[in-house]
């Protein structure tokens, strides 16, 4: 974050600013942290879709209003910026990467990163997606039995993301080092995530010190991969076969012909790991849970997977012929959006709908609320992949994921200039992992169990997803 902007954007504390949205008069930080989803639901039921809150002494706005959300994310994106928003816990891990940077730094990094996420580039990751899933179904899911599917999918998406970023030709020792260091850093990151708003990262608590050590180890592995890859690219002829995202980032150039520096590259790689691995595991785990609880829909998805891809799905990057699997993914993202809140900060005093917000106001847009808006969704609490099919007949899923969707209330990947750069990657990965899994197994509920509980932190993760794996 640029220091001039930090000085400019103040937290809004003290008396309630005039023209602020209505909401509870007391500080609700504890209620919010204790049970975010139930609390968000009860707030919006009581005060409407846009609520003024006091969180840890700061006045912030929470909104699930489609029109206001659009204003924040798209129409007034230059006013509602990322700088100054709620402090991002884990900043030493993600550094100044795309997710948290803003202004000229963000713009340049986004421009340099975009080519790596074009659909032609992403298709080259399809093989890693299907190969890693084949390994899961042939090893951990080889026998029928009960598994925590969320844990398995976390390991799977870590493997896929690491291969997509660094290639599948890392020497085995390096691969083990990367995965080990990432797992360790993530463990602390997740553990302290909920407390991150309260205990800053620079306080020398034992937990923070262990976390810093894990990040330091990860840094040393990642820097050594960057350096050796850069040297390899420099030594090879002009025709390099670009296979991994790191190669694409290393070769990308801005308008002045300049590439990313070593630190910026490190920050982007970490950001892609942080932003892309866990969110995808969460999406897939919820999708498996929904399919287990809806056997008819599961059979329909499995039969489409068999028809379109056969049993092996060797490296295909084309999922356009699998509308039902796409619909399962879109519907899961509607009901359980991994990013259930996204934050912005008003860079200046601004009018938002009927309200006036002082400069520095944090605004939290909630996909969780938007995706349940009774005026925009029929039977919003029901899992109905079929609702997407008429739309997918005429449009690609990617067009539905730009903007706020065709009904103006669908933002699982955000919207506007700061939308998710990994949307195409995540969608391809989700469809291919589900298709490859359903070619080999069915997900069944454990007798007597109920639908997995959400354990929302920064993301809307499940606590665990125990399911019976049944070989087909």
Q: Which of 1, 339, 357, 465 binds ligand HEM (CB under 6 A)?
A: 339
**Residue 158 touches ligand HEM, criterion: CB under 6 A:** no
Size of the site for ligand HEM (CB under 6 A): 23
**Residue 418 touches ligand HEM, criterion: CB under 6 A:** yes
Interface region with ligand HEM, contact rule CB under 6 A, candidates 49-57, 125-133, 355-363, 421-429: 421-429
Q: How far is the CB of 160 from ligand HEM (least distance, A)?
A: 9
The values of phi and psi at residue 62, to 5°, are -110, 130
Interface region with ligand HEM, contact rule CB under 6 A, candidates 146-154, 229-237, 300-308, 335-343: 335-343
The values of phi and psi at residue 140, to 5°, are -65, -30
**CA separation, residue 76 to residues 2, 80, 208, 352 (Å):** 21, 6, 37, 9
Interface region with ligand HEM, contact rule CB under 6 A, candidates 185-193, 236-244, 400-408, 411-419: 411-419
Q: How far is the CB of 385 from ligand HEM (least distance, A)?
A: 16
Q: How far is the CB of 401 from ligand HEM (least distance, A)?
A: 10
Interface region with ligand HEM, contact rule CB under 6 A, candidates 170-178, 194-202, 384-392, 414-422: 414-422
The secondary element (H helix, E strand) that includes residue 2 is none
Contact characters 354-393, ligand HEM, x per CB under 6 A: ----------------------------------------
Nearer Cβ to ligand HEM, position 308 or 329?
329
Q: How many CB atoms lie within 10 A of CB 382?
A: 11
**Region 257-286 residues binding ligand HEM, contact defined as CB under 6 A:** 271-272, 275-276, 279-280, 283
Long-range contacts from 123-126, C-beta under 8 angstroms, 24+ separation: 123/317, 123/318, 123/428, 124/242, 124/243, 124/317, 125/160, 125/163, 125/164, 125/245, 125/317, 125/425, 125/428, 125/429, 126/315, 126/316, 126/317, 126/428, 126/432
CB contact at 8 A, 410 and 400 = yes
How buried is 379 (Cβ within 10 angstroms: 0-12 exposed, 13-18 middle, 19+ buried)? exposed
**Residue 425 touches ligand HEM, criterion: CB under 6 A:** yes
**Residue 110 touches ligand HEM, criterion: CB under 6 A:** yes
DSSP of 164-228 = HHH-S-S-HHHHHHHHHHHHHHHHHHHHHHTTTTTS-TTS--HHHHHHHHHHHHHHHHHHHHHHH
Q: How far is the CB of 34 from ligand HEM (least distance, A)?
A: 23
Q: How far is the CB of 470 from ligand HEM (least distance, A)?
A: 26
Beta bridge partners of 469: 145, 443
Residue closest to ligand HEM (Cβ): 422
Token pair belonging to 1: 């974050």
**Residue 90 touches ligand HEM, criterion: CB under 6 A:** no
Binding footprint of ligand HEM on the chain (CB under 6 A)? 98-99, 110, 271-272, 275-276, 279-280, 283, 338-339, 342, 412-414, 418-422, 425-426
């Amino acid at each position: 974050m640029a220091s001039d902007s930090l000085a400019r954007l103040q937290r809004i504390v003290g008396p309630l600013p005039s023209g602020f949205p209505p909401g509870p008069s007391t500080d609700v930080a504890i209620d919010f942290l204790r049970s975010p989803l139930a609390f968000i639901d009860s707030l919006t039921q009581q005060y409407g879709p846009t609520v003024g809150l006091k969180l840890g002494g700061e006045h912030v706005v929470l909104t699930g209003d489609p029109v206001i959300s659009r204003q924040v994310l798209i129409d007034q994106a230059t006013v509602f910026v990322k700088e100054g928003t709620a402090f991002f816990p884990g900043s030493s891990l993600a550094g100044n990467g795309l997710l948290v940077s803003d202004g000229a730094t963000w713009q340049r990094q986004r421009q340099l990163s975009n080519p790596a996420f074009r659909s032609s580039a992403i298709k080259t990751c399809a093989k890693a997606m299907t190969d890693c899933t084949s390994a899961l179904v042939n090893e951990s899911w080889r026998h029928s039995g009960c598994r925590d599917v969320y844990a398995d999918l976390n390991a799977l998406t870590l493997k896929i993301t690491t291969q997509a970023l660094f290639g599948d030709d890392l020497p085995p020792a390096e691969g083990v080092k990367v995965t080990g260091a990432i797992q360790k850093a993530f463990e602390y990151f997740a553990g302290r995530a909920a407390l991150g708003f309260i205990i800053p990262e620079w306080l020398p608590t034992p937990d923070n010190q262990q976390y810093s050590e894990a990040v330091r180890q990860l840094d040393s592995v990642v820097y050594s991969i960057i350096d050796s890859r850069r040297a390899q690219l420099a030594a090879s002829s002009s025709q390099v076969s670009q296979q991994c995202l790191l190669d694409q980032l290393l070769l990308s150039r801005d308008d002045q012909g300049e590439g990313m520096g070593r630190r910026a590259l490190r920050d982007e790689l970490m950001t892609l790991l942080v932003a892309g691995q866990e969110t995808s595991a969460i999406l897939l785990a919820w999708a498996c849970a929904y399919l287990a609880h809806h056997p008819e829909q599961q059979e329909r998805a499995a039969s489409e997977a068999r028809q379109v891809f056969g049993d092996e799905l060797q490296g295909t990057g084309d999922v356009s012929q699998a509308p039902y699997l796409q619909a399962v993914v879109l519907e899961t993202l509607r009901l359980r959006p991994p990013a259930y809140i996204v934050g912005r900060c008003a860079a200046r005093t601004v009018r938002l709908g009927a309200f006036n917000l002082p400069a520095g106001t944090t605004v939290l847009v909630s996909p969780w609320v938007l995706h349940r808006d009774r005026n925009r969704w029929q039977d919003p609490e029901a899992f109905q992949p079929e609702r997407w099919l008429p739309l997918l007949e005429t449009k690609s899923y990617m067009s539905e994921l730009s903007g706020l969707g065709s009904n103006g209330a669908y933002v699982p990947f955000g919207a506007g200039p700061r939308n998710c750069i990994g949307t195409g990657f995540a969608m391809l990965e989700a469809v291919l992992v589900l298709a490859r899994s359903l070619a080999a197994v069915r997900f069944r509920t454990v007798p007597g169990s109920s639908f997995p509980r959400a354990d929302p932190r920064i993301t809307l993760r499940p606590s665990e997803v125990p399911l019976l794996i049944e070989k087909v």
